[in-house]
């Protein structure tokens, strides 16, 4: 192709196809090569060398950085930029910076003069993947530089993704420590078994939280809650509420005052006025005869007595944050027989799909609990979570986080 042909293309973003068979096994064959060069002779030289190479990629020629940036904004395929540093609208290493600002995914090979090898090295230090000296170009050298630049960019992207995943895992671990604490029990007279299963969205924790604290008088306090929404902000708010609840319990705050305090903190800390939280809070007096239940918009609970399981839904009040300051949360006492256990959970346990148009629901959860009523505490909890997950598996898995607490006083023959 002569110079007259390459210059005859539409001004701005002319495109030519280098007609060499591609290699489908290579992930790079779909990449576009963008030449940013204002000298027509150098542009023709690069085109001819690409035609003599084994590459099969679209070649786009832009004479200015502005044209190149418009092309990169519109491009969706991987791009390798062959970048001259002396352009009408930019000069020097600033060209590399502007390309990276426009498309951080683009691989960059800087084209320098014979005396500019130092500039090429500085360009690589500034984010380019390689540099080539124009006077020493050849088809093999050029094609190898393009392939290597694209491969290095892939490695950089993979390394960045790995670092992001590692940081996400570290953040998730910190949130887990905040949301899912070790129960603070002063003796072995009380048993608390917990299980948390993240939903399918990245497998990360969200706003479900729980805690168990035994005060110096032997009373055991427990809470389970669910902040609406999914994500780090909701998880952080859940941590805040859980820590506030534990502090309130240890300071001797009354049952109802604890919930009012949590609502005040929720309203103060939430980033969106529509965020709310549901909570169930329990108090187990040391006489072991009953449990005091306070519900704020949270689902009911399961009462286990022997091998029998019943659904219990004591009177409750509205969720926290719906109408700040207007909530009224009655406390309800439930008698407990020796060895009885209470199972608390968030709604992710029963709201998962178990059919194309159906969900497990409260009745389905109760039926599953009744079928496993003979199991000890830990195995019972695991069976509930496994059953819900198994039913939802064909439909994308658990869509929401699941937190489950199994609570109760031990008996003399209780080994679980």
The CATH number of the domain where 98 resides is what? 3.40.50.2300
Q: Could you tell me if residue 109 is left (phi over 0), alpha (psi between -120 and 50 degrees) or otherwise beta? A: beta
Domain boundary among 161, 193, 208: 161
117 shares a domain with 49: yes
Summarize pLDDT for 115-127 with one digit per residue, the tens.
777 888 899 999 9
- Report yes or no: 229 and 348 within 8 Å, Cβ to Cβ: no
Tens digits of residue pLDDT in 329-338:
999 999 999 9
pLDDT per position as a tens digit, 247-302 = 999 999 999 999 999 999 999 999 899 999 999 999 999 999 999 999 999 999 99
- Residue 272: name the closest of 237, 317, 318 by CA: 237
CA dist., res. 412 & res. 331, Å (int): 30
For the chain, the domain total comes to 2
Q: Are residues 99 and 194 in the same domain?
A: no
218 and 283 part of one domain? yes
In a domain, 169, yes or no: no
pLDDT band at 154 (very low <50, low <70, confident <90, very high): confident
> What confidence category does residue 381 fall into, taking pLDDT thresholds of 50, 70 and 90?
very high
In a domain, 321, yes or no: yes
Residue 332 in domain: yes
- pLDDT of 308 > 70? The answer is yes
pLDDT at 15 over 60: no
Tell whether 199 and 302 lie within a shared domain.
yes
Closest residue by Cα to residue 282 from 192, 333, 210, 222: 222
Please report, for the domain that includes residue 311, its CATH number: 3.60.40.10
Q: Are 275 and 227 contacting, i.e. CB atoms less than 8 angstroms apart?
A: yes
Structure tokens at 30: 């779909």
How much is the pLDDT for 14?
43
Residue 22 lies in a domain: yes
The CA distance from 41 to 63, in Å, is 12
pLDDT for res 395: 85
CA–CA separation, 217 and 382 (whole Å): 32
36: part of which helix (H) or strand (E)? strand 32-36
Identify whether 174 is part of a domain.
no
* Position 90 confidence tier, pLDDT thresholds 50, 70, 90: very high
Answer yes or no: do 138 and 226 share one domain. no
Of 53, 11, 57, 50, whose CA–CA distance to 33 is shortest? 57
User: What is the strand order of the sheet 277-284 is part of?
Assistant: 208-214, 220-227, 277-284, 290-296, 331-335
299, part of any domain: yes
Q: Which of 161, 193, 223 is the last residue of a domain?
A: 161
Give the whole-angstrom CA distance, residue 357 versus residue 359.
Answer: 7
Query: Cα(210)–Cα(282) distance, rounded to whole angstroms?
Result: 11
Q: How many CA atoms does the CB half-sphere of 290 hold within 13 Å?
A: 7
Q: Find, among 298, 172, 166, the residue nearest to 235 by Cα.
A: 172
Q: What is the pLDDT of residue 178?
A: 64
Encoding tokens for residue 282? 């329990």
Using an 8 Å Cβ cutoff, are 195 and 386 in contact? no
In terms of Cβ atoms closer than 10 Å to its own Cβ (0-12, 13-18, 19+), residue 408 is buried
Q: What is the pLDDT of residues 37-61, one digit of tens each?
A: 999 999 999 999 988 888 877 889 9
Residue 136 sits in the same domain as residue 43: yes
With beta carbons less than 8 A apart as the criterion, state whether 133 and 148 touch.
Answer: no
Rg (C-alpha) for the chain, rounded Å, is 32
Instruction: With a cut of 90, say whether residue 388 has pLDDT above it.
Output: yes
Give the pLDDT mean for 63-73: 93
Least confident of 26-35, 53-62, 308-317, 326-335: 26-35
Q: Are 52 and 143 within one domain?
A: yes
Write out the residue range of the structural domain in which residue 220 sits.
180-409
pLDDT over 60 (residue 22):
no
88 and 205 co-located in one domain:
no
Tell me the per-residue pLDDT of 336-366, one tens digit each, with 9 for 90 and over: 999 999 999 999 999 988 888 889 999 999 9
Pick the last residue of a domain from 109, 126, 161.
161
Contact 339, 306 (CB under 8 A): yes
Looking at residue 338, the DSSP 8-state letter turns out to be T
What pLDDT sits at residue 53?
Answer: 86
Interatomic CA distance for residues 212 and 225, integer angstroms: 12
The answer to the question of residue 415 being in a domain is no
Mapped onto helix, strand or coil, the DSSP state of residue 388 is helix
User: What local confidence, expressed as pLDDT, does residue 1 receive?
Assistant: 35
In this structure, the answer to whether residues 93 and 204 fall within a common structural domain is no
- pLDDT of 30: 64
| Any domain includes 416 | no
Task: Specify whether 151 is located in the same domain as 260.
Answer: no
- Say if residue 210 is in the same domain as residue 153: no
Higher pLDDT, 369 or 152: 369
Same domain, 82 and 190: no
Q: Across the chain, what does the average pLDDT equal? A: 86
């Amino acid at each position: 192709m002569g110079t007259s042909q390459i210059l005859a293309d539409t001004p701005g973003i002319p495109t030519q196809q280098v007609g060499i068979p591609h290699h489908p096994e290579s992930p790079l064959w779909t990449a576009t090569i963008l030449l940013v060069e204002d000298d027509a002779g150098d542009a023709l030289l690069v085109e001819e060398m690409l035609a003599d190479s084994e590459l099969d990629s679209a070649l786009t020629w832009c004479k200015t950085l502005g044209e190149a940036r418009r092309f990169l904004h519109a491009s969706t395929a991987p791009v390798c930029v062959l970048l001259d540093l002396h352009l009408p609208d930019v000069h020097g290493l600033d060209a590399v910076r502007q390309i990276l600002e426009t498309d951080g995914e683009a691989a960059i090979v800087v084209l320098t003069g014979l005396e500019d090898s130092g500039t090429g090295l500085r360009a690589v230090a500034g984010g380019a993947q390689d540099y080539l000296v124009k006077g020493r170009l050849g088809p093999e050298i050029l094609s190898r530089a393009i392939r290597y630049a694209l491969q290095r960019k892939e490695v950089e992207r993979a390394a960045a993704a790995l670092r992001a995943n590692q940081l996400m895992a570290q953040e998730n671990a910190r949130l887990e420590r905040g949301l899912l604490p070790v129960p603070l029990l002063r003796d072995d007279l009380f048993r608390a078994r917990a299980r948390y299963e993240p939903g399918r969205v990245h497998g990360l924790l969200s706003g479900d939280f729980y805690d168990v604290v035994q005060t110096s008088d032997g009373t055991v306090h427990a809470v389970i809650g669910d902040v609406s929404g999914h994500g780090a902000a909701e998880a952080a708010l859940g941590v805040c509420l859980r820590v506030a609840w534990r502090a309130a319990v240890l300071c001797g705050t009354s049952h109802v005052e604890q919930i009012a305090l949590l609502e005040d903190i929720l309203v103060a800390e939430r980033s969106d006025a529509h965020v709310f939280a549901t909570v169930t809070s329990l108090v187990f007096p040391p006489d072991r005869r009953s449990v005091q239940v306070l519900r704020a918009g949270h689902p009911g609970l399961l009462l286990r007595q022997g091998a029998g399981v019943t659904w219990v839904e004591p009177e409750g009040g509205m969720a926290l944050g719906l109408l700040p300051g207007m909530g009224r949360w009655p406390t309800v006492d439930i008698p407990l027989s020796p060895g009885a256990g209470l199972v608390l959970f968030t709604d992710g346990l029963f709201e998962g799909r178990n059919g194309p148009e159906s969900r497990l629901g409260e009745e389905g959860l109760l039926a599953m609990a009744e079928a496993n009523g003979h199991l000890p505490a830990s195995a019972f909890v695991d069976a509930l979570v496994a059953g819900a997950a198994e039913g939802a598996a064909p439909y994308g898995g658990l869509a929401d986080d699941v937190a489950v607490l199994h609570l109760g006083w031990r008996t003399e023959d209780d080994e679980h």
